[in-house]
Structures are given as C-alpha cells and as structure tokens.
Amino acid sequence: MSQATNQSWGGRFSEPTDAFVARFTASVTFDQRLARQDIQGSIAHATMLSRVGVLTGEERDAIINGLTEIQGEIERGEFNWSVPLEDVHMNIEARLTDKIGITGKKLHTGRSRNDQVATDIRLFMRDEIDVIEVELKRLREGMIELADREADTIMPGFTHLQTAQPVTFGHHLLAWQEMLARDHERLLDCRKRVNVLPLGAAALAGTTYPIDRHVTAELLGFDRPAENSLDAVSDRDFAIEFTSFASILMMHLSRMSEELVLWTSAQFDFIDLPDRFCTGSSIMPQKKNPDVPELVRGKTGRVYGHLMGLLTLMKSQPLAYNKDNQEDKEPLFDAVDTVRDCLKAFADMVPAIEPKKDSMYEAARRGFSTATDLADYLVRKGVAFRDAHEIVGQSVAYGLKTQKDLSEMSLEELQQFSSIIEQDVFDVLTLEGSVAARNHIGGTAPNQVRAAAQRAREALSLLQGQA
C-alpha cells in the first residue's frame, strides 16, 4: 500500500491507494511536459479570481510569485516530481502550498483537474502548432526556391513508375509543394479549433463562483470560451484533428521520401544527397544510404497508429470526463515530436538536394517519352487521334526493334508510318520542345514553372498573414 491517500481528493477514502494502482494511474511521468502551460493557466486563473473578488490582491500576487519560482525550479531541473501526487497539476499545487502556505490551496477554487488538463493540452498544442508551422513554412520556402532554380532541368515524368512524358525537376518539386500547401491550410484551420478555452467548465457543470471566463480567455490568448461545460472537459476532437493533419502530412513526406530513395539509387542516379543526411554500411564500404528519407517513410506508420489510437480512445466514451482521456497525451506528444522532427529534417535536406542533370536528361530520352507529342503533332495535321495513336504505336514498336528513340529516327524512317510527317516533326520530338509545348497554367513549360513558383511564394506569404 502507498503511505498515504492523496490529500487532494482522499477525504472520503478509508484506506490508502494500493502502491501499484498509484503507479498505474499516475501520469506525472509524461504529463510533466505540460508544466509550463499548467503554470501559465494557473496564473491566468488566479488573476481572474482576483478580478472577480474571489482572491485578494495579496493572495493573487503570492500565488503568481510562487508559481513563477516553481517554473524556475522546473527549468533548472531542481523540481522533485512525485508519483504519489499523480500528475503535473497536483505536483505543482503541492509545491505551491509548500512555498506560500494555505493561500496555495485557494488556487484551485472554481476549477477542476478536468478543465485544467483540457486547458493545458490546448495551450500545449497551440504552442506546438506554431513551431510546426514555422518548420512547414521553411520547408515550403526551400522547395519553392529549388523548383525555381531547376525550372529548366528536364527529367522523366512517370505513371505506373514507367517513363511517361518529360517534365522538369522544378515542376516535380512544385507538385510536392502543392501537397504541403494543403497541409499548411489544414494545420492553420486546426489551430482555430484548438484555440478555445475549457477553463471554467470545472468538473463538468461549471462552478457556483462568479468567474469571468472571457477574462481568462483574453489573458491566455484564446479566441473564446467553450460554450458547453460538458463538452469542454470531454472534447478531444482537436487532438484527433491534429493527428489527422499529421497523418496526411506524413503520408506526403513518405511519398516524397520514396522518390528520394529511388532517385539516389544507382539504377536512377537522379540526385545526390549531401553526406550529412546519409549513413554508411558496417560491412560494405561503398554504401551511402539515404537514411533520413527512409526513416521519415518509416515513422509515418507510427503517426497513423496514433490517429487510430485516439479515435478508438474516444469512440465509446459517455459524457463527460473519463479516466480514459489520460491516454490521450502520450500518442499526441509523440505525434507532435515526430512531425516536428520530420519537417525539420526535410526543411534542412530538400534545399541541399543536388540534381544530376545529365542522368535525368538521359533517362528522359529513354522510354519514348515524346510519343504523345508525336501523336499530338499528327492530330494537328488533321489525323484523327485514334489513328494517330496507332501510327505512333507502330513507330515505337519500330524503335524498340532498332533501339532508336523517336527523336533519333530519320525523317524517312518516320514517314514509313505516315506520309503526313514532315521535317518540322523534330521540333516536337526533342525533350526541350516537349516540355516547352505544355505552356499553360499548371504545365511543365519552364516559364510556367517559374510563374507557378512566384504564385506559390505569394500564396505562402498571404497564408502567413492570416495565421
């Protein structure tokens, strides 16, 4: 048995909590991470209680000064965390009472640990979203600049991982950027629903004290107080929404990682990653492994797991607060850490990618990537598209037999499949001609890629202004 029953709630209990149960139900080993937000919320709560006359000015000042000193102890690593005190909230409150006496026990007036922890998590998530948003913005900026620089760099575009049509490396990078732009919007939209104040809902029904929740919301920078006390203490939609954002973002980073891993292989040889983002083999001296993208690809699964875990956690909970909700923090904390670190790694790595332009160009020459251009050429000459498709198919079959790309065939060779083909066909069969012909918004023409990069910069700047 533990030595004593927790004095914050143990008045009606006749025996101490079992020592194992005390450890099993405690959360302080992981929720101490919320200490800064817990102190921030308590300072605002004490300030509000003073304004409405529940605390005197002296009591408020003693509480705030004590909490500030405790924050210093925590930051210096001098704070003694106690498992029997269960969680971050009771550890801080007990230390406050040790420091300032009975006044410390008045801090909890008009609130419960239910609305307190809900507030702490929202404050924590708001802070972390802001950090993640900075890293996401940094990644997008680096990606846009690299795309602009590589607007003319030709590479093969793929469908089914087979050579399809030539594109530019800049165009491909801007496709990645579009994924991240949607993620960015989702993150900022999620933040709006995080930024709602639960404090004042107390355990589940509100409080009889004359609190002013609008004051507390203003002090803590929340947009508004939560409308319903039952929902305020039991809602974890914002956590699920964040992990949903995180899962989609990680899916995008994983897709990018897969391409980076392929492109660094000897079989593709499209790019080089700086050594600082790679590792070697303990047995094969020649190896340079793309560990950063591989690890990001691997970490995607754990974030998916956290989303499913939180959905399952909440799926059968009756109103209002239940002890189940203690299990929200560890998956949420890990999702936050994983997303932040993966974004940081990508934001550092992507601008340092070095394209191997000759390898990309040579790969685009293989696989008859300008076949569609030849078909379009014939259509413009008056051939029905299905007939043009057949003519080009025959030309490709001939190229496979002779090991010649379409652009390497003579005019006479091409004319054996259609007499309509003339010398001007070679203007469209070159890789440069093919990409330049896609000269419309969203196309891969180099001037369109540069214009798209500029629009992306402007959109990113505008999105920042709305944050």
Question: Per DSSP, what are the bridge partners of residue 155?
Answer: 167
- Could you identify the residue written with the tokens 């014939």? 378
Catalytic residue from among 42, 45, 89, 160: 160
Supply φ then ψ for residue 57, to 5 degrees.
Answer: -60, -40
Name 59's Cβ contacts closer than 8 Å, sequence gap at least 6.
46, 50, 103, 106
Q: CA torsion angle for 314, 316, 318, 322 (degrees, to 10)?
A: -50
Name 222's Cβ contacts closer than 8 Å, sequence gap at least 6.
122, 195, 196, 197, 216
Please name which of 304, 307, 313 lies closest in space to residue 234, comparing C-alpha atoms. Answer: 313
- Could you identify the residue written with the tokens 């959360």? 27
Are 121 and 34 spatial neighbours (Cβ–Cβ below 8 Å)? yes
Measured in whole angstroms, the distance separating CA 292 from the mean position of its chain's CA atoms is 16
Tell me how far apart the alpha carbons of residues 323 and 117 are, in angstroms, rounded to a whole number.
Answer: 12
Tell me how far apart the alpha carbons of residues 128 and 243 are, in angstroms, rounded to a whole number.
Answer: 13
End-to-end CA distance of the chain: 51
Give me the amino acid identity at 132.
I
Are 355 and 270 spatial neighbours (Cβ–Cβ below 8 Å)? yes
Tell me how far apart the alpha carbons of residues 238 and 168 are, in angstroms, rounded to a whole number.
Answer: 39
CA 125, 129, 132, 134 dihedral sign is negative
Measured in whole angstroms, the distance separating CA 152 from the mean position of its chain's CA atoms is 30
Tell me how far apart the alpha carbons of residues 165 and 156 are, in angstroms, rounded to a whole number.
Answer: 6
Residue 142, classed as helix, strand or coil, is helix
3-state helix, strand, coil in the chain (%, to 5): 70, 5, 25
CA distances to 119, 227, 328 from 216, in Å: 11, 14, 25
The count of C-alpha atoms lying within 13 angstroms of the C-alpha of 108, restricted to the half-sphere facing its C-beta, is: 18
Catalytic residue from among 82, 265, 281, 461: 281
Q: Is 160 a catalytic residue?
A: yes
Tell me how far apart the alpha carbons of residues 45 and 55 are, in angstroms, rounded to a whole number.
Answer: 10
Structure tokens at 204: 């589940």
Q: Is 252 a catalytic residue?
A: no
Tell me how far apart the alpha carbons of residues 25 and 20 are, in angstroms, rounded to a whole number.
Answer: 9
Positions annotated as catalytic residues are 160, 281
